Amino acid sequence: MKPINTFNGKIAALPVPDIDTDRIVPARFLKVTSKDGLGEALFADWKVRADGTPDAEFPLNRPETQGATVLIAGDNFGCGSSREHAPWALQAGGFTAVLATSFANIFYSNALKNGLLPIIIDHETYEQLVSLAEEDPETQLTIDLAAQTVTLPDGRAVHFPIDGFSKVCLLNGVDQLGYLVQQDDAISAYEQRTPAPVSTLT
């Protein structure tokens, strides 16, 4: 995983609450056995009308949102299925961060594991960013993971929360599996000290 620190990104907004992972990647795209090639699957049934033609109304189809890397979305982004294909597809679609007023738990965890930065913002900032995306589609934000800030074009820096452990992993490009594998002795000790029936599977 590549380390993340400070980056600038152009915004695009999907100002809708409860964007579920079936919307992000419809289930029929889940028959893959690798993480690659999911760009086409991203918002597949939102990008295209029922008759198969591109929906010009869909914000990410507009010419001015091309090249956007920071997605702005409403409450409870990523609710529903646990499919990690959702963050993989967002990354394949060019996104490096999602800013939302809240996230579903599993999506949030999956995003962190892949270096797609899920950033929780307050409602006021959200409304400001949605307006900015409409008024000036070239709007760029500066995201500083070390400082945990998103800097808006007016210079206002908004602090965002992130778990310290995840932050260290992202800053150093270290994945969590490596850390867990190093816990081998502690895991073995747990297995030895914990008798049935706490662990009863036969």
Partner 1 sequence: MTAPQTLFAKVWDAHEVRPETAETPAVLYIDLHLIHEVTSPQAFTELRERGLKVRRPDKTIATMDHSTPTTPRNALGIIPVIDAQAAAQLGQLERNCADFGIRLFALGTENQGIVHVIGPEQGLTQPGMTIVCGDSHTSTHGAFGALAFGIGTSEVGHVLATQCLLQRRPQTCAVRVAGRLGTGVTAKDIILAIIAKYGVGGGTGYVFEYMGEAIRALSIEERMTICNMSIEGGARAGMVAPDTTTFQYVSGRPHAPQGADFERAVAYWSSLPSDAGAAFDKEMTLDADELTPMITYGTNPGMGMKITEAVPDPAQLSDHNARVALDKALAYMALQPGKPLLGHKVDVAFLGSCTNSRISDLRVAADLLKGRKVAEGVRMMVVPGSQQVKKQAEAEGLDTIFRAAGAEWREAGCSSCLGMNDDRVPAGQYCISTSNRNFEGRQGPGARTFLASPLTVVATAVSGVVTDPRTLL
Residues that bind partner 1 (CB under 8 A): 15-18, 20, 22-23, 26-28, 30-35, 45-46, 50, 74-76, 79-84, 102-106, 109-110, 113-114, 163-165, 175-177, 179-181, 183-184, 186-187, 189-191, 194, 196-202
Q: Which amino acid is at 130?
A: V
Q: Cβ of residue 140: shortest distance to partner 1, in angstroms?
A: 25
Q: Which residues contact 167 (CB under 8 A, 6 or more apart)?
A: 145, 148
Which residue, 35 or 144, has its beta carbon nearer to partner 1?
35
Q: Cβ of residue 198: shortest distance to partner 1, in angstroms?
A: 5
Which residue, 140 or 176, has its beta carbon nearer to partner 1?
176
Q: Cβ of residue 168: shortest distance to partner 1, in angstroms?
A: 8
Backbone angles phi, psi at 54, to 5 degrees: -60, 140
Which residue, 97 or 112, has its beta carbon nearer to partner 1?
112
Q: Which helix (H) or strand (E) holds 168?
A: helix 164-172
Q: Cβ of residue 142: shortest distance to partner 1, in angstroms?
A: 27
85: helix, coil or strand?
helix
Cα angle: 104, vertex 107, 112; to 5 degrees: 125
Backbone angles phi, psi at 115, to 5 degrees: 75, 20
Which residue, 157 or 190, has its beta carbon nearer to partner 1?
190
Q: Which helix (H) or strand (E) holds 117?
A: strand 117-120
Q: Cβ of residue 167: shortest distance to partner 1, in angstroms?
A: 10
Q: Cβ of residue 69: shortest distance to partner 1, in angstroms?
A: 22
Which residue, 63 or 164, has its beta carbon nearer to partner 1?
164
Which residue, 8 or 123, has its beta carbon nearer to partner 1?
123
Q: Please, what's the b/e burial string for 172-189 (b: 16 or more CB within 10 A of its CB; e: otherwise)? A: eeeeeeeeeeeeeeeeee
